[in-house]
Amino acid sequence: MPLSVKQLPILAALLVFPCCALGAEPVRHIGIYVEPFYRAAATPDGKPQVAVGEQFNALLASNRREDVLAARDLIVADPKLVTPMTMMVLAIRLYDVGLRDDAVFWFYVAKDRYVAMSGVLDVRAQSLAQAADAIQSFATLAGPFFNGYAFCDLDKQSALNAKAIDWVENNPYQAMFMERLPALPGDRGDNLTHALANIRKRDADERAYFADKRNLDAFYATRKANDADTRFCWK
């Protein structure tokens, strides 16, 4: 059965699942749901329910790798108004069809696009509340899957994270500049610059944290205790 956000604590950055959350078996399917945008199928070969936009729904609901890649290519071709929720679903479906490096990249893109947006728009406003709740749910429920795999190789994880930040900066979400959407005080462009600087600082802080051998050893000891390598580092 897919997980809902009510079944897990609200934590912004989960790196591994608790040991009791899953058995020590390879995790090949992200079985979560975040209404109304995504509901995973009960089994890996089932068809999920996707509602992120008519242009993407059928492609992202397909179990054919080429269809999921076609959705990705549409996003790359015209990313200006693609929502973070759409990118979250893309990341999940890329994981499900075995393209886990791409999945991690798009998960980080989705997360950072939303973080940048939240530095410009007032995500506490009623008109944006659904998006705020959805991204928190996606990050909480799907984050452990993506990070569980990503941290099999810390160097690769760091590179994908940096690549995602560059992509978010080079492809700004144009909804941030729509006058009909409520914004935080100040100039929107300046606020975006500040938000991106904070994202890069977070990345630098994470690199510094793992550069300390004590932190690194403790982190990988926790992964070992939780059977994370068995569950996520399969080839």
Phi–psi pair at 122, nearest 5 degrees: -85, 90
Q: Please name which of 72, 88, 95 lies closest in space to residue 140, comparing C-alpha atoms.
A: 88
User: For position 13, what pLDDT does the model report?
Assistant: 40
Ramachandran quadrant class, 98 (left: phi over 0; alpha: psi -120 to 50; beta: rest): left
Give the burial string for 172-208 (b: 16+ CB within 10 Å, else e): bbebbeeeebebeeeebeebbeebbeebeeebeeeee
**Rounded to a whole number, what is the distance in angstroms from the first to the last CA of the chain?**
25
Angle at 222 between CA 108 and CA 112, to 5 degrees: 10
User: For position 62, what pLDDT does the model report?
Assistant: 98
User: For position 17, what pLDDT does the model report?
Assistant: 44
The full set of domain ranges for the chain reads 15-232
Q: Could you list the mean pLDDT of each consecutive 10-residue stretch along the chain, which spans 235 residues?
A: 37 39 79 96 94 97 98 98 98 98 98 98 95 95 96 96 98 97 98 98 96 95 94 94
